[in-house]
Structure 1
Amino acid sequence: MKKIYSYLLIALLILVLAACNNSNNNESANEEETAQTETKSVIDEIKERGVLRVAVFSDKPPFGYVDEKGENQGYDIVLAKRIAKDLLGDESKIEYVITEPQARVDLLKSDKVDIVLANFTVTPERAEQVDFAHPYMKVAIGVVSAEKSPISSVEELKGKKLIVPKGTTAETFFMKNYPEVELVKYDQINEAFEALKDGRGDALAQDNALLFSWANNNPGFTVALPTLGELDYIAPAVKKGNTELLEWLNVEIEKLYEEKFFTKAYEETLKPAFGETIKADAVVVESKVE
């Protein structure tokens, strides 16, 4: 009987040791898997996914819009395709995520996109929430109005309604500097322009580069107030702290500067919309901005 108890104790001991060994092996495997996940770079994840997720506009020609064939077009799209080509070897490996101005920051924070290329103006407030790469456009706030009653100064907006798209630098600028001006706000950019055409406001404030194009293609309207505030820059944005992708983008953009890529993109996408009155160097950036 003592021998049987001894055998049982030995068997039980073997089972306990085996269970401990399996547990240690599982823990080691989990730790190794976690370590591999933690060390996997952001760029490796994009390459493994096989597509670059880019936030763009669908209703802001000539910068970002969807054409009659349902294809994304515009100045921002030309840049997105080049980034995808240099990062993934194929300009078509892009998942376009359509956005409105007020949603751009949240898309990055929630990891729904890798890069925002939606005409994103650099501001100190935004730079606290996202990281901006080198710029590829320069812009100021402008005001477009009807030719029959042009607005050429902020003083002329007193007692009138100014249309602004929500989440734009134009909205912020007027709320901060001219709170007495009555703002009529719209979620979508195309809605804002339709409101101006319908007479639901006396003028519309937005990036002047966009207004030059819109007025050129909409007879009866003029950008009589082309510049307000300081000159701003438009740049790609990545999630705050995404240093690896930010550094890759900066190197990429510096290479594009050397190629005069943005001037060529202007000639292809913006010049036909702007006409001959606006020159490339008034809009594009081809060198680092300190």
Structure 2
Amino acid sequence: MKKKIGLILLTLILAIGLLAGCGQQASEEEGAKDGGDAQATARTLEEIKADGKIRIGVFSDKNPFGYVDANGEVQGYDIYFAKRIAKDLLGDENAVEFVYVEAASRVEYLLSGKVDIILANFTVTDERKQKVDFALPYMKVALGVVSPEANLITDVSQLKDGTLIVVKGTTAETYFSEKHPEIKLLKFDEYQEAYDALLDGRGDAFSTDNTEVLAWAINNKGFKVGIESLGNTDAIAPAVQKGNTKLLEWLNAEIESMAGEQFFHADFEETLKPVYGENVDPESLVVEGGQM
């Protein structure tokens, strides 16, 4: 009888242990999805060199900074820079694997080691600095608001009883949530979804980086950027996993070294000027040598 009771107790203990292990695994998986504490070790600079490929996270739907063109090729200001990184680090501008990210997943892609660098219009903020390491800036930006010309939004107060479209995980979402909680936000995961919502009239306006809404309004008749600069002027910079010091140092040295050739002005001329024309002064956007 005692042996039978002991066997039952042992079975119960094993079952409880198995359930606890499953619960811990599920918790870790959920944490990874949410961009929590679950983390994989980033590849070092030497490991990237040995592999001969660098994985860079970019947008696929944020024209003209990172987007897929009609031929299925990824293009834009960030892409131009990413190819130069691959060329200078690995000797071939095609030695880059582009990984498409959404705004809200940029931190998680670094934490999980899915990419070596995030180069997706990543605004430097104090909150993000706690999770990733930013390199020197290569661009500066503020927020803008685009809306239909027939009902143009020229002041934030006009949105008090309206709906503002934003993309999750962006500085626009943070700014309006904190500064203007009275404004109803309609949130989307992807930029294309947000623009479609604006075109469909599901919101009164859309806010994101002013550089992008200016470009979008130029290509979409009937829409205009009524608020061209909102909030602070922020830095846009590459990011690596926190503690990936050698890769971070290499990136900083790369950005500093390109100042003499005015690399980012050339990037502007190649990828942004065809979109903006004379509507945007490159000095309002471009940062050379990491100096704001």
Provide the TM-score with structure 2 as the length reference: 0.84
Q: Which amino acid aligns with 1:257?
A: A
1:111-153 C-alpha deviation (Å, 9 max, x unpaired)? 1100000110111111111011111110001110111111011
Q: Which amino acid aligns with 1:71?
A: E
- Partner Cα separation in structure 1 for residue 130 and residue 276 of structure 2: 33
Deviates more, 1:97-106 or 1:64-73: 64-73
Aligned to 1:91: 93
Are 2:81 and 1:75 equivalent residues in the alignment?
Answer: no
Contact 2:257 2:289 in 1 (8 A): no
Contact 2:258 2:289 in 1 (8 A): no
Contact 2:141 2:233 in 1 (8 A): yes
Offset, 1:65: 0.6
Aligned to 1:155: 157
Offset, 1:47: 1.1
State the secondary structure of the residue aligned to 1:224: strand
Aligned to 2:173: 171
Offset, 1:58: 0.5
Aligned residues: 250
Contact 1:130 1:240 in 2 (8 A): yes
Contact 2:162 2:184 in 1 (8 A): yes
Unaligned runs of 5+ in 2: 1-42
State the secondary structure of the residue aligned to 1:267: helix
1:136-171 C-alpha deviation (Å, 9 max, x unpaired)? 110001110111111011111110000001110000
Q: Aligned match of 1:60 in 59, 62, 66?
A: 62
Contact 2:56 2:97 in 1 (8 A): yes
- The correspondence of residues 257-272 of structure 1 with structure 2, limited to 5 A, is 257-272=259-274
- The correspondence of residues 37-56 of structure 1 with structure 2, limited to 5 A, is 42-56=44-58
Offset, 1:287: 3.5
1:23-80 C-alpha deviation (Å, 9 max, x unpaired)? xxxxxxxxxxxxxxxxxx8111001111000000001111001112211110000000
- Partner Cα separation in structure 2 for residue 216 and residue 68 of structure 1: 19
Aligned to 1:201: 203
Are 2:236 and 1:234 equivalent residues in the alignment?
Answer: yes
State the secondary structure of the residue aligned to 1:139: strand
Offset, 1:197: 0.6
1:224-246 C-alpha deviation (Å, 9 max, x unpaired)? 11111110010000001111100
Offset, 1:289: 3.4
Task: Give percent identity, aligned residues only.
Answer: 58
State the secondary structure of the residue aligned to 1:95: strand
Aligned to 1:189: 191
- Partner Cα separation in structure 2 for residue 257 and residue 106 of structure 1: 31
Give the CA RMSD over aligned residues. Answer: 1.0
State the secondary structure of the residue aligned to 1:148: helix
Offset, 1:221: 0.6
- Partner Cα separation in structure 2 for residue 227 and residue 241 of structure 1: 34
Unaligned runs of 5+ in 1: 1-40
Contact 2:142 2:229 in 1 (8 A): yes
